């Protein structure tokens, strides 16, 4: 049965109107005093920290969702909202209208917390519905874990964080917290910008931690192993060796009949894909089960090459597994989603810490946003 958030929205908006109308006169008389006290009394330490953080989170979700909707209108990407909430059971029009309304109201509250009664209750209602949907995603996550469909590294899903943030925002809007008695001050805008930037930095990191580390392995038609550096000696780097080992493991478990080794020719002069094939064959993989893609010089190139190679757009294999490090997998998922291909991601097993990993993670944060903006907005 499809979830109908608009029914709850209408009910809460009407309830808000009835409540505020019944107390309109007392509220009107006390508003100047309340606003005066808000401007005079020092903010509590907790509120002084949490309100900018909540407003930053609200503005980030508004911008991220709006950019994703633009990408959908341009026909360049799939549902980007899946990165924070799952609305797949809604029709396209319902989902688009709901996300558009939520993003507009969140953005308006973040920039200008003071609002009329109607806008305030509409914001509370829609954000509360989004929080309920995030709670539903938590149940879906644990059902998938119980069925053995996913193997998370962390025992909790990102949806818990999303639901908590949305609930806190709804409470802040309902109680009028964060509303300033006068216009927007320059210092307030700076705080909002810093908080939004901090959330934008944390978001891809959270995706790496929650999504990237989760193992979605299931029977599939093929596994795509993404290339990485080959040392001057001709041996694969630790990063690449871990990816190959994970692909070989999938093959030995009988989950995939084919391994696609994709990479380019590195600065050392070695063909990464050929080196990957040789290592996999030496580990016992049938040579006829290994496909080499030596033109996979970037993540996007690998995705395009794999789609063309397997004819995924013309009735070819319908399920793929992508293997790479956890920090790389969110962008891998983005790249496949743009082409309309849904993949199961499996993080490479890293038995030991890889020294350059912090640098790689930082680079992936920038690459995640660069790719998102380029695809959705055409930048």
Q: What is the pLDDT of residue 178?
A: 57
197 and 344 part of one domain: no
Q: Which of 165, 185, 212 is the last residue of a domain?
A: 212
- Per-residue model confidence as pLDDT tens digits over 105-145: 999 999 988 778 899 999 999 999 999 999 999 999 999 99
Residue predicted with more confidence, 199 or 37:
199
DSSP SS3 for 345: strand
237 and 290 part of one domain: yes
- Per-residue model confidence as pLDDT tens digits over 144-203: 999 999 999 999 999 999 999 999 999 999 988 655 544 567 788 899 999 999 999 999
Q: Which of 161, 189, 212 is the last residue of a domain?
A: 212
- Which band of pLDDT confidence, cut at 50, 70 and 90, is reported for residue 24? very low
Strands 290-293 and 259-262: parallel
| Predicted confidence (pLDDT) at residue 62 exceeds the cutoff of 50 | yes
CATH number for the domain that contains residue 340: 3.40.50.620
| Predicted confidence (pLDDT) at residue 12 exceeds the cutoff of 80 | no
Let me know if residue 269 belongs to a domain: yes
Q: Which of 159, 180, 212 is the last residue of a domain?
A: 212
10 and 154 part of one domain: yes
Number of domains forming the structure of the chain: 2
Q: For a pLDDT cut of 90, what percent of the chain falls above it?
A: 64
Q: What is the pTM of this model?
A: 0.82
| Predicted confidence (pLDDT) at residue 102 exceeds the cutoff of 80 | yes
Which domain range does residue 230 map to?
Answer: 222-377
Let me know if residue 217 belongs to a domain: no
E strand or H helix that includes residue 322 = strand 320-324
339 and 365 part of one domain: yes
Question: How many angstroms separate the first and last alpha carbons of the chain?
Answer: 39
Mean pLDDT of 85-113: 93
Contacts of residue 349, defined as CB under 8 A and 6 or more positions apart, other chains included, come to 242, 245, 246, 249
C-beta separation of 57 from 169 below 8 A:
yes
Mean pLDDT, rounded, of the chain: 85
Nearest to 134 by CA among 3, 6, 327, 15: 3
- Which band of pLDDT confidence, cut at 50, 70 and 90, is reported for residue 75? confident
Q: What is the pLDDT of residue 115?
A: 73
């Amino acid at each position: 049965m499809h979830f109908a958030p608009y029914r709850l929205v209408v009910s809460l908006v009407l309830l808000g109107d009835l409540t505020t109308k019944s107390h309109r006169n007392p509220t009107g008389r006390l508003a100047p005093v309340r606003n005066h006290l808000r401007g005079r009394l020092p903010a509590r330490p907790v509120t002084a920290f949490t309100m900018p953080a909540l407003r930053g989170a609200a503005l980030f979700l508004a911008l991220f969702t709006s950019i994703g909707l633009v990408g959908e209108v341009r026909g360049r990407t799939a549902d980007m909202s899946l990165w924070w909430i799952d609305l797949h059971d809604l029709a396209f029009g319902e989902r688009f209208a709901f996300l558009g309304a939520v993003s507009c109201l969140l953005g308006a509250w973040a920039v200008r917390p003071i609002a009329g009664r109607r806008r305030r209750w509409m914001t509370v209602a829609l954000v509360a519905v989004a929080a309920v949907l995030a709670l539903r995603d938590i149940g879906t996550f644990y059902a998938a874990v119980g069925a053995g469909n996913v193997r998370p590294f962390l025992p909790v899903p990102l949806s818990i964080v999303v639901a908590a943030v949305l609930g806190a925002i709804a409470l802040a809007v309902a109680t009028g917290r964060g509303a300033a008695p006068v216009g927007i001050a320059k210092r307030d805008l700076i705080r909002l910008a810093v908080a939004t930037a901090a959330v934008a930095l944390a978001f891809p990191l959270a995706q790496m931690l929650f999504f990237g580390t989760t193992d979605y392995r299931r029977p599939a038609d093929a596994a795509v192993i993404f290339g990485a550096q080959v040392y001057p000696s001709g041996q694969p780097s630790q990063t690449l060796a871990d990816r190959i080992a994970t692909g070989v493991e999938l093959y030995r478990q009988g989950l995939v009949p084919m391994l696609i080794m994709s990479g380019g020719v590195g600065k050392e002069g070695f063909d990464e894909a050929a080196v990957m094939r040789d290592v996999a064959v030496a580990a016992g993989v049938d040579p006829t089960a290994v496909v080499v893609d030596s033109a996979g010089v970037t993540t996007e190139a690998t995705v395009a090459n794999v789609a063309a190679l397997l004819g995924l757009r013309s009735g070819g294999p319908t399920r793929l597994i992508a293997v790479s490090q956890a920090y790389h997998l969110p962008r891998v998922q983005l790249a496949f989603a743009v082409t309309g291909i849904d993949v199961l991601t499996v993080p490479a097993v890293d038995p030991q810490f890889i020294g350059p990993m912090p640098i790689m993670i930082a680079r992936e944060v920038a690459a995640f946003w660069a790719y998102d903006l380029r695809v959705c907005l055409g930048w």
